[in-house]
Structure 1
Amino acid sequence: MEQDLQAMSDSDGADDSELTNDIVTVSRLQIALRSRAKRLQTKLSDIALRANTATTEGLFELLQETASTLLENADFWTHVLAGSQTVDSREQAEALFNQYSIQERSKFSAETLTNVNGVVSQKAPVATPSSEQSAYVVVTLLLGTADDAPLFNEIYSTSLLRDVLEEITLLRSRFLLVFELLWTPQDVTDSLTEADLASDYADLVPIA
């Protein structure tokens, strides 16, 4: 669920200095939810399949729907990781964005749904039985925006997370350069164990 940063750099001729300079803000927002939020995985799959990821408008709609869906599931939030960094060039931003994307995808046991530049790919999930109690789903939002300052600071509470997600729904569409939605597991019959969360997502901060 992404778009090339350089390809999205041309906005609609707006005069805003933030839109015409090379400064880019790259943000990562990662939320762990209790696996009882089974409808979340289904909803994310639905909106990802519908999204037109080949256009700025489609990516913005995907971002808004994702943020709204996470707000609807606030009762299931357990952990969060938030970071937003401003860099001086689009090349730096693209490198940082790709670093985050590769880092997060490397944690997946399987990626059964992708929608990149409007091309959808689906694979049948492979069952991976575990004797441990399943507990979590982790959702990651990666954004590149034309803002000249970070979108948010570190988050340590549900109230701050709610505020950030609400602000994301109010972002200006023309400022969105790139967006990628990742969640794991994607299979609704699967979820992450306590051990998975501790080993792969050790930087997440408990908020519930």
Structure 2
Amino acid sequence: MRLGASGFGRGIQVVDSGNELTNDVVTITQLEVALLAQARDLQTELETIAARSDIGTKPGLNRLLQETVLALLRSPEYWSHAKVTNQTVRSRAQASQVFEQLSVTERSKFSRETLVNVGGQVSRQTYQPKPDADSAAYIVVTLIVGTADDQPLVTQPIHSASDLQAALRRLGGVTPDYLLVYELLWTPQDASDSLSYDQMLAAYPDLTQIS
């Protein structure tokens, strides 16, 4: 599943380089959260959010980010693994390149995209589960966020539930003025699809188990 919108636009060069909202500096934050497959309600909630989201405006995109964060915060009992990375770059063009590279890398891990919403254009593909598929073990949710911040949003690695909670709250606190671009991806999207433990480790080897 892919849900996103691009909004870096054209940067503005100003003398006061300390003004985060008008300079060209962009921070790209990627947060990956693996949850136990029992969190099936989360899949349904994310799909509902995706279907009704107005991502053509900054307030709509910001509301999507907040609703995603809230959905994850409501499922702490299913949190299993996580990872956060930050990249701060000096230009909007470089930020767009970094963002697209991260997006393509994450989407290449999927064998199919069954639900796509880009710029409000929604497309769906039906999924037929394989009879010999491994048992579902995990759901992985990825948030890729571009903001006008001049410093990383999350400075500490995630090792515990409290670390993940703090990272989610930080992302959920991004205001519409600061939010430039956001993409939400999760796998599997369809409740009948599966992501086994071995598949999760192969696709997301750098995730850290939450203590």
Taking structure 2 as the reference length, what is the TM-score of the superposition? 0.91
Q: How many residues align?
A: 204
Question: For residues 17 and 58 of structure 1, what CA distance do their matches in structure 2 show?
Answer: 24
State which drifts further: 183-192 or 121-130: 121-130
**How far apart, in 2, do the equivalents of 1:70 and 1:42 lie?**
12
Question: In the TM superposition, what is the alpha-carbon distance from 1:133 to its structure 2 partner?
Answer: 3.1
Question: Structure 1 runs of 4+ off > 4 angstroms?
Answer: none
| Unaligned 5+ runs, structure 2 | 13-17
Counterpart among 47, 53, 56 of residue 54 in structure 1: 56
Find the residue that maps to 1:19 and give its secondary structure.
Answer: coil
Cα-Cα RMSD:
1.7
Letter in 1 for 2:167: V
Q: Does the 8 A contact of 2:135 with 2:194 survive in 1?
A: no
Larger mean Cα displacement after TM superposition, 119-128 or 53-62: 119-128
Report the Cα offset of residue 170 of structure 1.
1.7
- Which residue is 2:47 aligned to? 45
Task: Specify which of 123, 126, 138 is matched with residue 124 of structure 1.
Answer: 126
Q: Distance in 2 between matches of 1:181 and 1:128?
A: 26
For residues 206 and 98 of structure 2, the distance between their equivalents in structure 1, rounded to whole angstroms, comes to: 18
Deviations 1:35-73 (A, max 9, x none): 000001010000011101111111100000000000001
- Classify the secondary structure of the residue corresponding to 1:52: coil
Q: Which amino acid aligns with 1:177?
A: L
Change (3 A) 1:185 1:98: same
Q: State the 1:132 CA deviation.
A: 3.0
Which structure 2 residues correspond to residues 1-208 of structure 1 after superposition, within 5 A? Answer: 1-7=3-9, 17-153=19-155, 154-208=157-211
- SS class of match (1:177): strand
CA distance in 2, matches of 1:38, 1:9: 41
Kindly indicate which of the two structures has a greater share of residues assigned to helix: 1
Return the alpha-carbon distance in structure 1 between the equivalents of residues 60 and 179 of structure 2: 11
Equivalent residue letter for 1:100: L
The letter of the residue matching 2:65 is L
Secondary structure of 1:2's counterpart equals strand
| Contact 1:8/1:56, CA 8 A, preserved across alignment | no
Q: Which letter maps to 2:76? A: A
Aligned residue type for 1:37: A
TM-score, normalisation: structure 1: 0.93
Q: Distance in 1 between matches of 2:24 and 2:11?
A: 9
CA distance in 2, matches of 1:8, 1:134: 43
